[in-house]
């Protein structure tokens, strides 16, 4: 019976799959190879800490897209998991002295643990009410972190997070090597997200997104699926937050503030929701734009970035990657049609 329900969901959600899933398998494989080459070459052409920021924010955006694009849940409190992992990772690294991958794993587990009660309360609401519950929880965590200054450092933040990598101390000047040491963690998070949406579990998420009443009628426990993907999303956000804190050597209240949640949602929408590829692309646009404007000494960064984002949203209704994927598919379909006509 379960297999029959899964087959039904597979058929009903095929048309709503991510844009890249509709591309030719060869094209998808080629894009994956290109993406890996770009990631490997990134610190050779961009200042390594900025390159690391792109990857960390990109993974953070993927975690948000897992909820927004594939489950239809808009979270305005994902900074709670990013920030919780950042603080926990920093605390473990400074107090216990373990290698930073182990500290990041601890931060990820902490993010997933707090996601369980948050998700249990939030998934019983939909739309703006879900967003408000997650936002309220993130603000509560922000207040707690600010008050617990003995542990978090308060407004000064938790500073001096070491980059110890199994006996090797990667100091601030070793940001180039830290990039490659932390890269497997980012790729692991991206793989978990891809495996989630590519599995039968992911097809059920699409069914819940498109028609939760229909999914419930087919016998699926909608709330349980939402809680599960919420925790998975929090774990991926935790991986990103832990890498970010170790990369910068500190964790601050900025990681928990509501604007951080808004920023990552913006990245996700810019890149294209429901694509997974869009999150890193949107993160690259935002991070590089902010870095260039900050380096130029321009004071009105918000005005310029806001105007550019409006233009992108107007020109790319499905986000940058969503629009590009549709364009590639139209070209491929046109070439196939001409080939059949010539035959």
**Consecutive 10-residue averages of pLDDT for the chain (343 residues):** 44 46 67 88 91 95 93 91 94 89 95 94 85 91 89 85 77 78 94 92 91 89 93 95 93 90 89 87 90 74 73 75 73 62 55
Which of 192, 204, 287 has the alpha carbon at shortest distance from 234?
Answer: 192
224 HSE (CA, 13 A, CB side):
6
Domain 2-259 has CATH 1.10.3470: yes
Q: How far is it, in rounded angstroms, from Cα 32 to Cα 161?
A: 33
Q: What are phi and psi of 169, to 5 degrees?
A: -95, 110
The pLDDT score that the predictor gives to residue 41 is 92
CB contact at 8 A, 20 and 325:
yes
CB contact at 8 A, 121 and 63:
no
Q: What are phi and psi of 21, to 5 degrees?
A: -70, -20
CA separation, residue 120 to residues 116, 220, 222, 226, 227 (Å) = 6, 17, 12, 9, 6
Assign residue 252 a region (left: φ > 0; alpha: ψ between -120 and 50; beta: otherwise): beta
Residues 307-327 as b/e (b if ≥16 CB within 10 A, e otherwise) read eebeebeeebebbbbbbbbbe
Span 238-255, pLDDT tens digits: 999 999 999 998 899 889
Which pair of structure tokens corresponds to residue 37? 């080459």
The pLDDT score that the predictor gives to residue 319 is 79
Which of 325, 116, 126, 326 has the alpha carbon at shortest distance from 209?
Answer: 126
């Amino acid at each position: 019976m379960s297999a029959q329900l899964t087959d039904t969901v597979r058929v009903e959600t095929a048309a709503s799959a991510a844009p890249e899933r509709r591309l030719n398998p060869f094209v998808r494989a080629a894009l994956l190879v290109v993406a890996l080459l770009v990631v490997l070459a990134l610190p050779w052409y961009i200042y390594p800490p900025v390159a690391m920021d792109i990857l960390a924010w990109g993974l953070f955006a993927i975690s948000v897209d897992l909820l927004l694009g594939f489950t239809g849940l808009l979270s305005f409190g994902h900074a709670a998991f990013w920030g919780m992992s950042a603080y926990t990772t920093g605390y473990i690294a400074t107090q216990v002295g373990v290698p930073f991958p182990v500290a990041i794993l601890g931060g990820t587990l902490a993010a997933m643990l707090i996601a369980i009660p948050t998700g249990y309360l939030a998934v019983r609401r939909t739309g703006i009410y879900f967003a408000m519950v997650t936002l309220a929880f993130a603000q509560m965590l922000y207040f707690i972190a600010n008050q617990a200054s003995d542990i978090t450092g308060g407004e000064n933040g938790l500073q001096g997070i070491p980059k110890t990598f199994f006996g090797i101390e990667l100091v601030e000047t070793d940001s180039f090597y830290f990039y490659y040491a932390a890269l497997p963690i980012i790729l692991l998070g991206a793989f978990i997200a891809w495996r989630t949406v590519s599995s039968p579990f992911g097809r059920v998420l699409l069914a819940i997104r498109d028609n939760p009443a229909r999914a419930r009628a087919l016998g699926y426990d909608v709330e349980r699926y939402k809680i599960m993907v919420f925790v998975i999303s929090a774990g991926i956000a935790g991986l990103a937050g832990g890498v970010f804190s170790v990369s910068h050597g500190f964790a601050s209240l900025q990681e928990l503030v509501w604007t951080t949640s808004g920023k990552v949602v913006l990245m996700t929408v810019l890149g294209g929701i429901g694509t997974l590829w869009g999150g890193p692309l949107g993160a690259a646009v935002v991070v590089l734009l902010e870095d260039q404007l900050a380096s130029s000494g321009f004071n009105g960064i918000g005005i310029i970035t806001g105007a550019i984002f409006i233009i992108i949203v107007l020109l790319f209704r499905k986000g940058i990657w969503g629009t590009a994927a549709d364009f590639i598919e139209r070209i491929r379909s046109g070439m196939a049609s001409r080939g059949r006509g010539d035959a």
